[in-house]
């Protein structure tokens, strides 16, 4: 699946979506995490839902998600995100050997990605298509938070979805659960919520999505999308994370924080919704 000659993916968003200065970036992310105040969780964190706007807009919300794993360690982190640019393939991964942020390089877990690809092909005919020099922000934006929150180094399992269908999300989640192990791997689903409605409209749309998420109902999330009653640009990543976590014994989703871009811009006429949540299984 991977090329023999591979490079490190340079960040296309450092200096715009977040600071390119390592010490400033670390301080900013640390502050978002330290300032977060979360409810007591009902068990062990298996997966997170976190937003992916520029840190100025959604960093404080994201801090609530990563606060739940602060100081813990994992061998691997599987980050599931949408792919906002056009590619004809339904599922994508990185063709690079590592991702680079101002806080350092994160190597890809090549052997695990190969296993996931093999299982996907056997189960559904789907494949992970490697892409190089992509401009996707929604996966990378989670990486500095992981680099600050987690103890020690980890390898990355990056999976980006172009196909946001119910079937693909479920298959992806099932395969992730089969190949990975919750004792060594954390799942992060990257998603924003409604886009460019008034704040009052966004609150209604987002509340429906968050209610379905809190009810741990992948089907209810897709039903909202199909009826035009709620939206999340990372719906397939969220649902895949839920399916995987459910297979690992997760029973609860705890909503941690919600906000809109109006808190930063002051513009309530056209906002984007952001939420943080933790998926847990009984300890």
pLDDT tens, 208-247?
999 999 999 999 999 999 999 999 999 999 999 999 999 9
Asked if the structure places residue 14 within a domain, the reply is no
Helical segments of the chain, H only = 22-35, 55-67, 110-124, 137-140, 143-149, 166-179, 199-214, 218-227, 235-247, 262-265
Asked if the structure places residue 217 within a domain, the reply is no
pLDDT higher than threshold 80 for residue 2: no
How confident is the model over 191-210, as a mean pLDDT? Answer: 97
Asked if the structure places residue 216 within a domain, the reply is no
pLDDT score of 100: 97
- Looking at the DSSP bridge assignments, the partners of residue 94 are 131
Asked if the structure places residue 214 within a domain, the reply is no
| Token pair 């390592």: residue | 22
How confident is the model over 175-183, as a mean pLDDT? Answer: 98
DSSP tag of 40: P
Quote the percentage of the chain above a pLDDT of 70: 98
pLDDT score of 109: 98
Asked if the structure places residue 226 within a domain, the reply is no
pLDDT higher than threshold 60 for residue 87: yes
- For the chain, the straight-line distance linking the first and the last C-alpha, in angstroms and rounded, comes to 37
* Structural domains counted in the chain: 1
Element (H, E) at 281: strand 271-281
How confident is the model over 122-133, as a mean pLDDT? Answer: 97
Rounded to 5 degrees, what are φ and ψ at 225? -60, -45
pLDDT higher than threshold 60 for residue 150: yes
Asked if the structure places residue 218 within a domain, the reply is no
Cβ neighbours of 63 (radius 10 Å): 29
Burial of 211 (0-12, 13-18, 19+ CB in 10 A): middle
Return the CATH number at 173: 3.40.830.10
Rounded to 5 degrees, what are φ and ψ at 277? -150, 155
pLDDT score of 192: 98
pLDDT score of 1: 54
> CA-CA distance, 190 to 123, in Å (whole number)?
24
Asked if the structure places residue 280 within a domain, the reply is no
pLDDT higher than threshold 70 for residue 22: yes
pLDDT score of 245: 98
pTM: 0.97
Q: Are 41 and 68 in contact (CB under 8 A)?
A: yes
Average per-residue pLDDT for the chain: 97
pLDDT higher than threshold 90 for residue 260: yes
How confident is the model over 260-266, as a mean pLDDT? Answer: 97
Domain that holds residue 33: 24-188+234-258
Per-residue confidence band for 159, with pLDDT thresholds at 50, 70 and 90: very high
Asked if the structure places residue 265 within a domain, the reply is no
pLDDT higher than threshold 80 for residue 281: yes
């Amino acid at each position: 699946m991977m090329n023999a000659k591979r490079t490190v993916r340079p960040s296309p968003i450092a200096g715009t979506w977040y600071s390119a200065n390592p010490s400033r970036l670390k301080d900013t992310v640390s502050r978002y995490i330290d300032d977060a105040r979360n409810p007591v969780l009902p068990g062990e964190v298996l997966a997170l839902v976190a937003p992916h706007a520029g840190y100025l807009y959604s960093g404080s919300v994201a801090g609530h998600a990563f606060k739940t794993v602060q100081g813990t360690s994992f061998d691997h982190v599987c980050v599931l995100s949408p792919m906002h640019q056009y590619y004809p393939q339904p599922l994508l991964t990185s063709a690079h050997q590592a991702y680079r942020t101002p806080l350092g390089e994160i190597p890809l877990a090549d052997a695990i990605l190969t296993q996931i690809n093999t299982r996907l092909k056997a189960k559904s005919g789907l494949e992970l298509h490697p892409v190089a020099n992509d401009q996707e922000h929604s996966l990378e934006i989670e990486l500095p938070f992981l680099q600050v929150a987690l103890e020690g180094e980890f390898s990355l399992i990056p999976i980006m979805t172009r196909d946001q269908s119910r079937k693909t999300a479920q298959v992806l989640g099932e395969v992730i659960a089969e190949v990975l192990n919750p004792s060594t791997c954390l799942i992060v689903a990257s998603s924003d919520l409604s886009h460019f409605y008034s704040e009052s409209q966004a609150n209604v749309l987002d509340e429906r999505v968050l209610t379905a998420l809190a009810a741990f109902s992948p089907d209810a999330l897709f039903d909202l999308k199909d009826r035009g009653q709620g939206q999340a640009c990372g719906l397939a990543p969220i649902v895949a994370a839920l399916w995987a976590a459910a297979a690992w014994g997760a029973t609860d989703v705890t909503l941690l924080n919600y906000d809109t871009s109006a808190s930063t811009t002051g513009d309530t006429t056209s906002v984007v919704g952001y939420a943080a949540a933790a998926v847990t299984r009984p300890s």
